[in-house]
Structure 1
Amino acid sequence: MSEILAQFMLDGHRIAFEPGQTILQAALAAGIYIPHLCAHPEFTPHGSCKLCTVMVNGRNGSACTIKAMPGQDVLSDNPDLNSRRRTLLQMLFAEGNHFCPGCEKSGNCQLQALAYDLEMFDPHFAQFFPAREADGTHPEAFLDFNRCIMCELCVRASRDVDGKNVFAIAGRGRDTHIIVNSPSGKLGDSAFSIHDKAAQVCPVGAILPKEVGFVRPIGERLYDHDTIAEVALREEAGARSGEVT
């Protein structure tokens, strides 16, 4: 594929891409942020959160799973799509127990940062207030199922990187939930380690390391001064240049 042909249009901007890149990957490499939660550069695209939904030649699709192709006309940053994204965020907030002011992850939480970025001013929907148990049995980590958004990042990390399959998805529909693969179903009886990739990828406050709470105070955290778009693009630039961000 020639360099001239390896391009598509995104919100009126001409975006060059490398063979095999998705629309999301190409956009980030070009310095354009498309909101997303479940996508991670180290894992196969999953397309579960739908926050990266874009219009490709007039049809809806997930930017994290659709391969970039010549001739595509992609819309992302428009009022209709951003309104849909806000609705998805509102549903995620309503479905779980996300009390940002009292959460240790506040300021480092991608869900919270996206809500700010997309100007989600209220939850809109009635809260479900699910009754889910928290698991403090592991000596190194605390597991709070009440904050899980079913992005499956921990499932994929444990399976594909750690080779442990500590986490899995069970149930269907509203009863879908994360489970721990251990004899007791508790994290403390599993092969999980705080050094696992699965311990590092949770975008919310569902998996928290113990004994480090509020070491960096709220007000000095990752998203307190920079938007999630700015952080994501900075990390993408660092990854492409081989730098550590």
Structure 2
Amino acid sequence: MSDILTATGIKAGYGDVHIVNDVSLHLEYGGSVAIVGPNGSGKSTLLKSLLGFARLFDGKVVFDGRDITGMTSDKTVAMGLGYVSQTDNVFANLTIQENLEMGAYVRHDAAGVKQDIERMYQMFPELERRKKFYAGSLSGGERQMLAIARAMMANPRALLLDEPLASLSHKAVETIVEKLRIINESGTALMIIEQNTRRILAFARRAYVLVTGRLALEGDAATILENEDARRRYLGLGAD
């Protein structure tokens, strides 16, 4: 299977500080990739560098056969590369319905947008029941569902998510994972940074382990999860 997203020799950070050093990774069409590792290992910086939110000192990013290195996020969203940040990922002072409409800002097909809003409500019935509520009144799990649904309104072919399970209850985690599974099975490729290592490795097909800004391990996600040495050295999971 060919790749929808490839990043080669990524060196990134903020200001003059290098945080990510010589990292290469790829995401297949319709695939699912987890990026895991200890706190402070540069996972979020890596993800943001692919989208132009962190400084890219060196490297190349290709999306769907096009070089998008250094391209602004509004252009990459229009091309089909979506992003859900860890925080500030909804408009708190807008309703659920208005947030979904904002997610389609790059589109010009009013009828299609209306259909996709209904599709999001079918996928996230929890949101439809409260569509006139302000996003600021939602629980953590509901906010995350809205953030994902809003990103999906741009019809991304690949969606990058920064810690979608952070600070959620066990029930909310399972709900979000199930929604991501539906999205992935519908054909949208997923690249997910996550601290809930065990859960995300059980979900994704492939994984990269990032340690102090460098790749320590990559391969089949289930194999990495079962690797006792990897669990102890890099993931803080210990033996089962």
Judge same fold: TM > 0.5, yes or no: no
Using the size of structure 2 for normalisation, the TM-score is 0.26
Using the size of structure 1 for normalisation, the TM-score is 0.25
Greater share of helix residues, 1 or 2?
2
Greater Rg over alpha carbons, structure: 1
